[in-house]
Copies of this chain bind each other. A is one copy, B any other.
Amino acid sequence: MKVYHLYSGGKDSSLSAWILERLGYEVRLVTISFGVLDNWRFAKETAQKLGFEHQVIYLPREILETAAEMAVSDGHPNNAIGFIHERALEAIASMPGVERVSDGTRRDDRVPFLELPKTRSLEDRFNVAYIRPLLGLGYKTIRELTGRLFNVEIKASEELEKADYEVELRYLLREKGIDPLRIFPKRHQQSRVLGWKDV
């Protein structure tokens, strides 16, 4: 039972990888890159510390360009992030031999989040099961479990040490002369999983 799990190195995708392993799945972590930056290596580092298999999948830069246009025209990044996430799931689901895809999206997320019709469409078009271990968990439960499992570094800082879609999207916007702060809400705190807690 091999599952390909979208992985950023953050708390949510790390927790869901752990849950999948507890349920008996053979978990392969997958980080998306558009080849613009090498921030995928933060995810790889964390994956190695946690002892999971990891690979990087490159998506065409056109997807990031389209997302950037969406973000500019919307004035906020939600649709753009959702768009990238769907393309990422489709890219993994269409790889030969892939029967299960998963991610760390949670109940209280607005983006990225696939509504039920899109969820079923993904499963039907690619003949895969799509698994979201955190979807039925609220923030209290996620905090409780991550607090028990992981050493986490919290920084009030720039978002460079992450491997989520946002980092390359911000970079591309800056390249185009657009200030990402006009589009992205300010975030004061960043968290990154450093490894397992000693139990």
Contact = CB atoms under 8 A, between A and B. Distances in A.
Interface of A: 1, 19, 22-24, 100, 105, 107-108, 116, 119-120, 123, 129-138, 140-141, 144-145, 148
A136 B140 contact: no
Given A107-B116, A145-B23, A136 B134 contact: yes
Nearest to A149: B24
A113 to B, nearest CB: 11
A144 B119 contact: no
A130 B135 contact: no
Copy number in the complex reads: 2
Nearest to A105: B136
Q: Which of A22, A23, A120, A132 has the most CB of B within 10 A?
A: A23
Contacts of A131: 136-138, 141
A104 to B, nearest CB: 10
A56 to B, nearest CB: 25
Nearest to A99: B140
B138 A119 contact: yes
Contacts of A137: 131-132
A105 B137 CA distance: 12
Q: Which of A108, A134, A137, A145 has the most CB of B within 10 A?
A: A137
Given A22-B23, A148-B24, A123 B140 contact: yes
Given A100-B141, A132-B136, 13 more contacts: A19-B19, A19-B23, A24-B145, A105-B136, A107-B116, A107-B119, A129-B138, A129-B141, A131-B137, A132-B137, A133-B136, A135-B136, A136-B136
